[in-house]
Structure 1
Amino acid sequence: MIEVYTDGASGGNPGRSGVGVYIKAYGKQYEYSIPLKEMSNHEAEFHAVNKALEICLEKFPDEILSFQSDSQAVVVAIEKKFAKNPDFKQILDEILEKASHFPYFFIKWIPSKHNFHADQLAKKAIQMQQK
């Protein structure tokens, strides 16, 4: 099973944004900091899961995925397959489509303090845009 920790960050609401993805697989760790366009923090959180799924499709196809996110809104939207905010419907549909390619896809909410690596990677992605 592949463990995936995701976080989205925004330097304003909206503001410069970034994604952090921290993956633990086969005794190795993989870290990704991905800058995004200007958006809200909630939107960045959805993009974090989407980007992580893109990475997993490329590097870990056909694996069981266990995702963790500190965004309760994202976790609930994915579990219910419904986004209350219509602005998130398209990105949610992309997430659900990508997740369908894996035999099992789990996502659970974790407190921010347990998502330190992904948080730091997301913040790094924002800083990458300022250089």
Structure 2
Amino acid sequence: MIEIYTDGAASGDPGLSGAGIYIIDGSNKHEYSYHLGKLSNHEAEFWAVIKALELCKQQFPNEILSFRSDSKLVVDVVEKEFTKNVKYIHLLEKILKNSKEFPHFFIKWIPEKQNKHADRLARKAIHNS
């Protein structure tokens, strides 16, 4: 099972944004930062999950994925597979489509203090843009 920690950050709302992804694969740890352009913080959180799924398709195909995010909004929307917010519908659709390519996909909410690695990587993406 692969553990994936994701976080999105934005400087402004909307503003420069970034995604941070921290992956634990047994004893191996992988770090990724992505500049996302001008987005809201919530949109950046969704994009962090999308980017992580794209990475996993390349590096960990057919693995069980256990995602962790400190965004209650993202976790709730993905778990329910539903949102009324038109800004998030296409993002949810991307997540659902990509997650179905794996035998099992889990997403769980965690407190911010347990997501420091991904947070640091998301902020790094903003400052390096």
Identify the TM-score tier after normalising by the shorter chain.
Answer: over 0.9
Cα RMSD for the two superposed structures:
0.5
Partner of 2:68: 68
TM-superposed CA distance for 1:48, in Å, is 0.4
1:38-117 equivalence runs, <5 A:
38-117=38-117
Give the unaligned 5+ runs of structure 2.
none
Q: Secondary structure at the match of 2:128?
A: helix
Rounded to whole Å, the distance in 1 between the matches of 2:84 and 2:110 is 21
> Stretches of 4+ moved more than 4 A in 1?
none
Q: TM-score, with normalisation over the residues of structure 2? A: 0.99
Secondary structure at the counterpart of residue 12 of structure 2: coil
* Residue 106 (structure 1) shift: 0.3
Aligned length: 129
- How far is 1:84 from its partner? 2.8
> How far apart are residue 83 of structure 1 and its match?
1.6
Pairwise CA distance, 1:113? 0.5
Alpha-carbon offset, residue 25 of structure 1: 0.1
Question: How far has the Cα of 1:26 moved from its partner?
Answer: 2.4
Deviation of 1:37 after TM superposition, in Å, equals 1.1
Matched residue, 1:120: 120
Quick one: distance in 2 between partners of 1:58 and 1:78?
A: 22
* Aligned-partner residue type, residue 121 of structure 1: L
Structure 2: how far apart are the matches of 1:82 and 1:58?
27
After superposition, what is the alpha-carbon deviation per residue over 1:63-112, rounded to whole angstroms, capped at 9, x for unaligned? 00000000000000000001231110001100000000000000000000
TM-score w.r.t. structure 1 length? 0.97
Letter in 1 for 2:33: S
